[in-house]
Amino acid sequence: MSLNPPITDWHGKTVWLVGASSGIGRATAQALHGQGARVVVSARPGAALDAFAVEHPGSRVLPLDVADLAAVHAASRSLAQLDAVVYCAGTYRPQRATAFDMAAMQQHLQVNYVGALHVLDAVLPRLLRQGHGHISLLASVAGYSGLPQGLAYGPTKAALINLAETLYLDLHGAGIGVSLVCPGFVQTPLTAQNDFAMPALITPGQAAAAMLRGWRQGAFDIHYPKRFTLWMKFLRLLPYAVYFPAIRRFTGL
């Protein structure tokens, strides 16, 4: 059953990808460009964005710090057309409560969650006026339930999951699609920090393909790779008396 209008043809559609300088965001922008979309990529200023524009003729670069609300609004106003926005911006640093770092907690909150709110504040009135469009938020299976080393990262992704669910309920009747993307382990500069074996590790290109497939199917819940994410969904259903020992055993932490 499709929970969103399926997006089967990207030709002529303007898609704003926020957080597209590397990893999943960049791969998704590349895939959408290949499908004929007018791709607009945003991230902090840097050579990666400029290189993307050179490699993908017709794309547009909007350098942006998602923590700057005024800059987000200015970037949104510069778009003559907007059919979809994909929030891919994110930061990750492993952290445990035994080494609590408030500055890192605040940074994760600002980039992973508050930045998404800034983008919503800028685009929602416009999408509501035009009566169509799509919002996609990139969360993580780390937001399903508490995990070791996820003290700073996991709660922000849990917030995005709840946010996407509520947005869907509020916006479905207004003609605006909403999708939640929860990847497992994807080979990116962020996951390169992990010092453990990552099960079912996939490439950013595989992640992007799964996202386009989900949008084509009209899915709300896009998670991948399913051989890993389905297990994570199952674990969060367990009572805590079972869940906590299972996570300690599987992670060794």
Residues serving a catalytic function are: 153
Contact 104, 161 (CB under 8 A): no
Strand ranges for the chain from DSSP E: 14-18, 38-42, 60-61, 84-87, 133-138, 176-183, 221-224
Beta bridge pairs of residue 41: 17, 61
Contact 142, 157 (CB under 8 A): yes
Tokens standing for residue 187? 């080979």
Other CB atoms within 10 Å distance of the CB of residue 78:
10
CA 150, chain centre distance (Å): 17
Closest listed residue to residue 235, CA positions, set 193, 190, 199, 191:
199
Beta pairing, strands 133-138 & 38-42: unpaired
At position 58, the amino acid (one-letter code) is G
At position 199, the amino acid (one-letter code) is P
Query: Residue 228 in 3-state DSSP?
Result: helix
Other CB atoms within 10 Å distance of the CB of residue 16:
27
Q: Any idea of the CA torsion for 195, 197, 199, 205, to the nearest 10 degrees?
A: 60
